[in-house]
Amino acid sequence: MTKALQNFPDRFLLVGCGNMAGAMLDRWLAAGLDPAQVAVVDPFAAPRAGIVQHATLGEWQAAGGSADWIMLGMKPQQLGDIAEILAPLATGQVHLLSILAGVSLVDLAARFPDAGAQVRILPNLAARVGAGVSAVATFGDADDAAIDALLGTLGKMVRLADDSTMDLVTAFTGSGPAFVFRLIESYAAAGERLGLSAEDSLALATATFGGATALLADSGEKPGVLIAQVASKGGTTQAGLDVLDSDGQLAALLTNVLRAARDRGRELADIARGEG
């Protein structure tokens, strides 16, 4: 891949570096970000060559730590304790990035009022391979070119005018890969129940979903157009579609899935504000 971040000049601090933040960091390092410019505060994060890791913010401060970009990647419930320590350090031109579910730009501005910009990012796990989707909304004097460079290495970036729909986006694209993985898992299990081996069924399911989404993205067509190209009246595909489309159950199920994830995001926001 191109080393898009090879000359990125600023220093990073990641507060929390679990699965999602870790996937973003690994992609940035692969894109040329200098590990010597990065510090991680997370006692449980997987070690990465060249990156200094600290167990606590106090330990990072004692080591003389400073950063131009601070990314919050811990659990939303930890925001209150973290902000109390971090807010005095997030001043001037420091960009405060957050991938915390349910924590709004208003919440971030209240917790970190002196930051140069508050940036709310909703990425997903496919960022690990540069095929993610990142929704972003900003407040303050954000460096849009730098944000484009950082998020562009993760995959597709969508700028939102504000973060009013971010709870839904969190459910839709942030949680979305897990829902797709579950669909693939269930599809493979169905193949196994009907006679395929477990290994063959999963391989075929993975390739089928991957090929279908790649075709959809490459063709520029709407899904219905491609469905019509596969299905013929009275054929095998149409027989299966008739089951999927029966009484609108699939659409209703997916709506309920997204609603549950969205509502949980709102609950997490209340908890982060100390209201839950």
Residues of the chain with pLDDT under 70: 1-2, 275-276
Specify the pLDDT at position 266: 84
Domain range enclosing 60: 12-165
Q: What are phi and psi of 275, to 5 degrees?
A: -105, -10
**Predicted pLDDT at 115:** 96
Q: What is the DSSP letter of 33?
A: -
Alpha-carbon dihedral sign for residues 94, 99, 104, 108: negative
Strand partners, 119: 97, 138
- Check residue 76 and give its pLDDT: 87
Of the candidates 24, 31, 6, the one whose C-alpha atom is nearest the C-alpha of residue 126 is 24
**DSSP string computed for 76-116:** GGGHHHHHHHHGGGS-TT-EEEE--TT--HHHHHHHSTTSS
Q: Round to whole Å and give the CA distance between 74 and 17.
A: 7
DSSP 239-272: HHHHHHTGGGHHHHHHHHHHHHHHHHHHHHHHHH
195 and 156 in a common domain: no
Residue 1: what pLDDT?
60
Q: Are residues 145 and 180 in the same domain?
A: no
**Residue at 273 is within a domain:** no
121 DSSP β-pair partners = 136
pLDDT at 276: 58
Q: What is the pTM of this model?
A: 0.83
Q: Is residue 4 part of a domain?
A: no
245: CATH: 1.10.3730.10
